[in-house]
Structure 1
């Protein structure tokens, strides 16, 4: 059954800090705190529009949900809980800060049926967190993750490669630290420089050098590959495209493109496939099979992997959709068949 999110945006509400990169009004296109009645109407509108059965999840995004006063949280949660109890929706989740997680808070969330909490981690490098003015430490992430696990919540981590002070060794350490913590899911948002942020002022003054789109793809692909290899479900790479984000007067620089997810997977799939193909003999010809839903990942964004293979490899290659599991590539040369599991570190296996 298809999972559908009902996004309930609370931009900046509850946040005790203004991070250098943050302008939630632009990212979400929403301002202000919704009323309980607005939450109720939003849930009803989404669920009534579906023509087929779906798994509905109400999600409080955009701010620091658990940093808001308890009565405000309860007012927003009540209509979602009513919909959950009535069977209109199937789950409730929120995003929040790592330093706004306590037993009291988690007990309240449980009373209203919430099962998933995503933490705005951004980095596990305290120097990077300080320069971003996050107001929390990597230690807070460790403690919050452990407490969420203790209370039985599904745990998500949101990361932002490209923050001020991050270099490649810092990114590698952050990735390794997240893999050790083993969240259930992760989102990766390479930094975009948004108008109206302190980061934009630093960029204009020459104090901050943002990632290019290519650099953002490289860093995000590294993180995603390692997360998947450790069994961490990476559910999003790159900001969701909106009218505001597609306005070049609002996104001034940095690693934003609506195609970020496709570019990241093109890099992950392409690097592994091309590396393996280069290890094979020149003859006979090679057939490459893949799941229909993996077509763009295997062939590459705008067929870049197919084109690269064509001019850089001596073998004759045939590409086609096949009965192959998602995340796998079937490589056939003569009578020899290999299975390449892109999301595993085991490497190609002969089948």
Structure 2
């Protein structure tokens, strides 16, 4: 779906979470003037229109109602004319009660992204979120009853969490049957409470390799539950990558590709270990199968010098062809396939 984003960093947030510095994440220092939304949106819209206007970066329903109304009024003409299909907002789970959600529904909002981060009480406490996991379940209940699409955002690697906690939080999120997820492994941004913990030696973020492996397993579980993940990792913003802005953490400009490549590596190792040294994959996924900068192919050939990877235009997505015939990427990349590891 095409998205026309407007960023309202920190707008409406009642306090600052330990990890948060929205100006760096969004690339915007301040919210846009509501009176400019209609004009900016008209400039952004393509000829055919469609998609959703999105208000990201703050907690939309925590804004004063008149401010919410002003932003939504900016999108209303395009919505009424059929130039867009709906409106998307992001919000805290404890700011999505019956009154707030009814207002969104009446004003044309179609999708709400809920900042969850974790379902662990300890992780939520240390992140200074100001709500418990029950607030998430209640928010999802209210949103679903209103007929709105629901997205949940998770942040593996926060203080107090580990791999097991991240997977438990994922399972809890999937149990709520959201329409989609976003997964942002935690990075340390200068000027945050988390940065103070990191610099004092009280917090160590996930390594890039650990985060990629963890997110690959999360991707596999999401696929099994038929819940799409529409974003892996933070966007590549100049403010995010400026000198000294990010102190540490598993950020990579192609993080999503690293996750997909790791799933392919799990599948290809499973085949190679069983004697299949010539494997074909779909043309569109050949780059992911080779790995970022051909890392997968190099790793496989170090272990199996005769291994060959080919692109086949006739293969369906997420399918491999080997000596035994065609097989699904997802069945081969299952974590239970212990042969996927070189260890």
Q: TM-score range by the shorter chain?
A: over 0.9
Q: How does 1:1-351 map to 2 (within 5 A)?
A: 3-47=1-45, 50=46, 53-279=48-274, 281=275, 286-290=278-282, 292-313=283-304, 316-326=307-317, 328-333=318-323, 336-342=324-330
2-side partners of 1:112 and 1:325: how far apart?
41
Q: How many residues align?
A: 336
Q: Is the CA contact 1:128–1:165 (under 8 Å) kept in the aligned structure 2?
A: yes
- Give CA deviations for 1:210-269 in whole Å, capped at 9, x if unaligned: 122222212222222211211111000000101111213101111111111111111122
Name whichever of 148-157 and 265-274 sits farther off: 265-274
Asked whether the equivalents of residues 36 and 74 of structure 2 are also in contact (C-alpha less than 8 Å), the reply is no
* Cα shift at 1:332: 2.6
Partner of 2:341: none
Q: Which moved more, 1:217-226 or 1:77-86?
A: 217-226
- Contact (CA 8 Å) 1:331, 1:337: kept in 2 or not? yes
SS for the counterpart of 2:20 is coil
Q: Given that residues 267 and 329 in structure 2 are in contact (C-alpha distance below 8 angstroms), is that contact kept between their aligned partners in structure 1? A: no
Deviation, 1:316, is: 4.3
Could you say what secondary structure the match of 1:99 adopts?
A: helix
CA contact (8 A) 1:340 1:347 kept: no
CA distance in 2, matches of 1:146, 1:180: 12
Tell me how far 1:315 sits from its aligned partner: 5.1
Q: TM-score, normalised by structure 2?
A: 0.92
3-state SS of paired residue (2:302): helix
In 2, the alpha carbon distance for the partners of 1:242 and 1:145 equals 30
SS of aligned partner of 1:201: helix
State the alpha-carbon separation in 2 of the partners of residues 341 and 164 from structure 1. 33
- Measure, in 2, the Cα distance between the counterparts of 1:56 and 1:8: 14
Q: Distance in 2 between matches of 1:126 and 1:46?
A: 41
